[in-house]
Structure 1
Amino acid sequence: MKNEYKRSTGLTQKNVQEHNLTTILRGIYETGVCSRVEIANKVGLDQATVTRAVQKLVEKEIVFESILSKKTRQRGRRSIGLQLSANRYRLVVVRLQRLSFKVALLDLTGNILEETEHPIDALQKPPHIFDLIVQAIEKVMTDCSEAVLGMGLTLPGPFLEQSERILLMTESPDWENFDLVHRLRKHFSNIPLYSKHDAKAAALSVWKTQGITEDSEVMLYLSAGQGIGAGLVINGEVFRGSQGTAGEIGHTSIKQDGPQCYCGNYGCLEIYCSRLTLFRNLKANSRHSLPYPLNIDDVVQAYQMGDKEVVKEVDQMANYLAQGLVNVINLVNPDMIVLGDEYSRFGEPFLETISEKVKECLLKKVFENLRFQLVQEKDDLVLSGSFHHVLQSVLFKTHNPELYN
């Protein structure tokens, strides 16, 4: 039967072996820690095939073996646990934002081994920022003695994932004329580079930590901070749209007669409730207790301490976000909304303000189907999502000479 399958599909023995390796790796990645028996049952391969494949993965130091703790009433020897190894390989991920960029080095288990953040001056042009990013990456690479399997780059939107070009970065002009992804790929030509929209990367990470647990079928991740974006996850898959720009909630209009946005639309949500706008409003309101220059840590603390003027300005951001969410909810009918990025730090009172405003504007049955949550993961979700994107692209891709030769 197997030989007939190979003949009918044109698969060689090497093809089948590589397919088995990637299938087993995916199973280990999705499970976290599991025994050979568990992984055989999960992926539908016999134990002998799993044992041979796992041996190769252990020799390559992609998979690590450990002793599992005994389950209740378990007899005999403890099982050997399989998990991705943190020893031999590394991934580098870069997050570009309007006011800063981050570079992080991670092992295959997702542990951040090194992370740096670099401010971006408003007057700096893309070519100069590109040089700073390259320098930061090279610094991380110089300090790393392990093999780097891949690199991830996340960008604010609108971002064309298909052609890997920034269409617009609000209040940061010139990026649409600078081919950042391809320049970075050319500079680091020996390392595969994978780009992704920042909100979609974060949505992937949130789905793994919260969406699966909550059994969500349609999860909307709202990224609110320096920019406003969203990622839609439908049955475990991040929805991209035809060009990769799906989720640009920040460029949906909440006021038809509002000011014109850089994107050409009028009254865009991002104009009214980004962190840049919040800071401008706070600067214009001298009755609060905040020191200057403003920073998000002080604003969050003042909000939580009940500074009336700060609470008023932050709650206005929540009301605007609710308006934008109502439009999206009526369009895609999610069952779960997760708030992330900087605004999630305002906590449950901020989320409750959004929820109550949304409730006023939705049909009762539609609202009752919704669950609102803050992100549970405390690390940078965009970096985490970029890590998962790169890891999946590297490990689950057959014909990877670094892994399978």
Structure 2
Amino acid sequence: MGHLSVNVTGDQALVKKINKSLVLRTIRGASPLSRTRVSQLTGLNKATVSNLVAELCEDKLVIEAGPGESSGGRKPLMLHFNEGAGCVIGMELRVKEVAGVLCDFGGHILQEREAALPSHRPEEVLETLIALGRELTGLAPATPHGLVGIGIGVPGMVDEDGLILLAPNLGWESVDLKSGLERAFGVPVTIDNEANAGAQGELNYGEARGVRHLLYISAGSGIGSGIIIGGELYKGARGYAGETGHMTIEAQGRSCSCGNRGCWELYASEKTYDDADLPARTTGGLTRLAAAGDAVAAGHFARIGEYLGIGITNLINSFNPELIVIGGPLSEAREWLGEPLRRVVSERTLPYHKRELTIAFSKLGSRGTMIGAGIAALLAYLGEVRVRV
């Protein structure tokens, strides 16, 4: 009988990488904390933790400061995730413009810019993204790691390789922005659906820290959903989950650009501005008028809130989440959307689903997708490794 050959060196390197990622993730999520606390939280022995922390300090990803609280004896030095170790760029591709932020490793916005789209032609969109990225890159401070990645949220379906398969609001099928951006900047580029990116922003820096079952609703030029199940982003069998803006809420409703009829986003997004007789045609313009007492603007937001509530009721009954966060540009109109939305959900949702449910508007607002896209790029750089058992 032959002997089983095992690549011991490779196995040890993988175990070390996994453990190092685990230690870094623990420090990033709970800093400041002591080495002893890292050992307790990870289950790794103190010697292993000390060795890995030393490497992370050498990598400038962790810094020591102190002293911390002690139960007796010498006070321990505390470990902090170094939010100033480097930068990421997060961008959102919208229907009419591109918006971008330069963030540190803590998700804090250092610079913010946006640019109008000259057209929806992929090559012109790519040029606009590159120009915006170069402007932000030129504003980046000197850091140990520099710019480590770029993340982009897009309004459509994206496969696991970052290929934009379908973006109905842009008229796109099978568009590759990733390779052109990586050539231009020389750093890895991550591309995902804008609602998935927004959900990442909420999980890391918004309303949803520590939440296991989350629905993030991105409401703007369309509607998309980022679905978190058991603390993990749910993408479906092929990565396309979350296209809730195209679920039917009016069986014989209006025709949609996706080919369906009666889609949710035709009644509960900024698309409603196209057909209505309104005093303004943008969310910003309407919120300013509503705040000044304009009844037409306030009434329109109330109708959008009711339709948002109808779609959210369907999602609550389907997924039984503990938290729903509403983000995107329409979250800026929370003052007029909130009451009718919650009323409809209260009237229509099955009673058991409502017992442990919270509905909140994102504090990140219209920046959630950009911040989340940047965080996706950061997590890819930090080499988050998840072990399945």
- TM bucket normalised to smaller: 0.7 to 0.9
Partner of 2:242: 247
Quote the Cα distance in structure 1 between the aligned partners of 2:366 and 2:50. Answer: 35
Quote the Cα distance in structure 2 between the aligned partners of 1:258 and 1:93. Answer: 36
Please list, as runs of the form range in 1=range in 2, the aligned pairs for 1:300-319 lying within 5 A after superposition. 300-319=287-306
Q: Structure 1, residues 206-248: CA drift from partner, whole Å, max 9, x if none?
A: 23443345xx442211111122111111111111011212111
Quote the Cα distance in structure 1 between the aligned partners of 2:47 and 2:300. Answer: 63
C-alpha deviation, 1:361, in angstroms: 2.1
> Are the aligned partners of 1:168 and 1:263 in contact in 2 as well (CA < 8 Å)?
no
Quote the Cα distance in structure 2 between the aligned partners of 1:119 and 1:8. Answer: 53
Partner of 2:30: 31
C-alpha deviation, 1:394, in angstroms: 1.5
Quote the Cα distance in structure 2 between the aligned partners of 1:116 and 1:226. Answer: 19
Partner of 1:185: 182
C-alpha deviation, 1:332, in angstroms: 1.9
Partner of 1:386: 373
Structure 2 counterpart of 1:341, one-letter code: G
Q: Secondary structure at the match of 2:78?
A: strand
In structure 1, stretches of 5+ residues that fail to align are 1-5, 399-405
Q: Secondary structure at the match of 1:253?
A: coil
Structure 2 counterpart of 1:132, one-letter code: T
Q: Structure 1, residues 308-329: CA drift from partner, whole Å, max 9, x if none?
A: 1111111111121122222222
Q: Which residue of 353, 356, 362 corresponds with 1:366?
A: 353
> Are the aligned partners of 1:103 and 1:136 in contact in 2 as well (CA < 8 Å)?
yes
Structure 2 counterpart of 1:392, one-letter code: L
Structure 1 counterpart of 2:303, one-letter code: Q
Matched, 1:21 2:8: no
Quote the Cα distance in structure 2 between the aligned partners of 1:235 and 1:87. Answer: 30
Matched, 1:96 2:83: no
Quote the Cα distance in structure 2 between the aligned partners of 1:259 and 1:298. Answer: 26
Please list, as runs of the form range in 1=range in 2, the aligned pairs for 1:259-338 lying within 5 A after superposition. 259-278=254-273, 280-281=274-275, 284-285=277-278, 288=279, 294-338=281-325
Q: Structure 1, residues 81-131: CA drift from partner, whole Å, max 9, x if none?
A: 22222344222222211121123222222222222111224x452211211
Q: Which residue of 69, 76, 85 corresponds with 1:79?
A: 76
Quote the Cα distance in structure 2 between the aligned partners of 1:141 and 1:372. Answer: 36
In structure 2, stretches of 5+ residues that fail to align are none
Q: Secondary structure at the match of 2:173?
A: helix
Quote the Cα distance in structure 2 between the aligned partners of 1:171 and 1:156. Answer: 7
Matched, 1:352 2:339: yes
C-alpha deviation, 1:162, in angstroms: 2.5
Structure 1 counterpart of 2:46, one-letter code: Q
C-alpha deviation, 1:143, in angstroms: 4.0
Q: Secondary structure at the match of 1:176?
A: strand
C-alpha deviation, 1:191, in angstroms: 1.3
Quote the Cα distance in structure 1 between the aligned partners of 2:307 and 2:223. Answer: 11
Partner of 2:57: 58
Q: Which residue of 128, 132, 152 corresponds with 2:128?
A: 132
C-alpha deviation, 1:275, in angstroms: 1.4
